[in-house]
Amino acid sequence: MLRLIGQRLIALIPLLFIVSILTFSFTSIMPGDPVDLVLGDDASEEQIQLVRERMGLNVPIVQRYFIWLGKAVQGDFGNSFFYSVKVMDNIKERLPVTISLAAVSAAIALFVGLGAGIAAALRPRSWIDRWATLGATLGQAVPNFWLGLILAAAFAVELRWFPATGFTSLTESPWEWLRSITLPALALGLSSSAAIARQSRSAMVGVLQQDYIRAARAQGLSASRVIFKHALKNALIPVVTVFSFLVTVLLGGALIVEQVFAINGLGSLAINAVWRQDIPVIQGIVLVSVVIVVGIQLLTDIAYGYLNPKARPV
């Protein structure tokens, strides 16, 4: 297993290097001059030159890239053009909000999706199977932001069970954190659970028809032991693939749902940075997001190695 992790980490180095080149290149060719965005149209030539020197724009782009890369490797993405604060400090302030929302959403998606998929697979063509299939179809058809609006209107505005907007940190109040994150997490998690339910049902139906499952039942093993110890482990292999993809989708969806519930996470930070063309903030958010996605893929490979010994390097 350690060899698998080592091989994956080594393979990630060129990937991150290519992503850094693309990120820096695309943000560098954005229309408009960053100096004009900061100073406006009435700045003097002396002010323009001073700001260009402070931003490091007076050196060739290749040299500027390697200077930026050397600082980025150390976690320094520079300062925001408009707020005069370090980009990494701003990201550290917002990142826990988005991560907690995506994590709770992923837990809901996995719990609901696996539960519905296994229940449908155990009783194919029953009313449970039909309702699970219908729910999965609706879940894939309904956009998560629209579901968020429906949940907010029903449970926040009408019933007043949950707050309609805002976010409370876990360290400040666990109970208020749970109340503030429930509706946006349900909006993300329920829509994502549909794909997990479909995949887990299909995988479980196939596994339950295998000869070793029939042999386990013939030996008199209990139904729960056959399902959860023998069948579920093999059925989880394709589910892990779907789940790892959905986690990255949840991170992207969290940026939109945050706007629906007025949550100050990475979503609002990214939208404001794009709107203002705050290049250092855009670069920092993109690279941090890529590192998170790469970490998720690494955990997926580790899960593959655990569930399927054939995936481990010899």
**Superfamily per CATH, domain 93-311:** MetI-like (1.10.3720.10)
Task: In whole angstroms, give the CA distance from residue 58 to residue 231.
Answer: 63
269-306 residues labelled b (16+ CB within 10 A) or e (exposed): bbeebeebbbbbbbbbbbbbbbebbbebbbebbebbbe
Task: In whole angstroms, give the CA distance from residue 314 to residue 307.
Answer: 16
Helix H or strand E segment including 293: helix 279-307
Task: In whole angstroms, give the CA distance from residue 217 to residue 227.
Answer: 10
Q: Which two tokens stand for residue 166?
A: 């805002």
- CA distances to 12, 57, 184 from 50, rounded to whole Å, are 38, 10, 45
pLDDT score recorded for residue 3: 66
Residue 142 phi/psi, 5° resolution? -90, 125
pLDDT score recorded for residue 278: 78
All residues at 6 or more sequence positions from 114 whose CB lies less than 8 Å from its CB, including other chains: 196, 197, 200, 239
Residues 210/235, Cβ–Cβ less than 8 Å: no
Task: In whole angstroms, give the CA distance from residue 54 to residue 171.
Answer: 38
Q: What is the dihedral of CA 305, 248, 289, 301, to 10 degrees?
A: 10
pLDDT score recorded for residue 253: 79
pLDDT score recorded for residue 128: 80
- Global confidence as pTM: 0.77
Encoded amino acid at 125, one letter:
R
Max Cα separation, the chain?
87
Domain map (residue ranges) of the chain: 2-87, 93-311
Task: In whole angstroms, give the CA distance from residue 200 to residue 119.
Answer: 10
pLDDT score recorded for residue 309: 57
Going from the first residue of the chain to its last (314 residues), give the mean pLDDT of each consecutive group of 10, the final group possibly shorter. Answer: 66 78 74 63 68 68 81 81 80 86 86 84 79 77 81 85 83 85 87 81 79 75 73 75 79 80 82 79 84 79 65 52
Compute the radius of gyration of the chain from its Cα atoms. 24
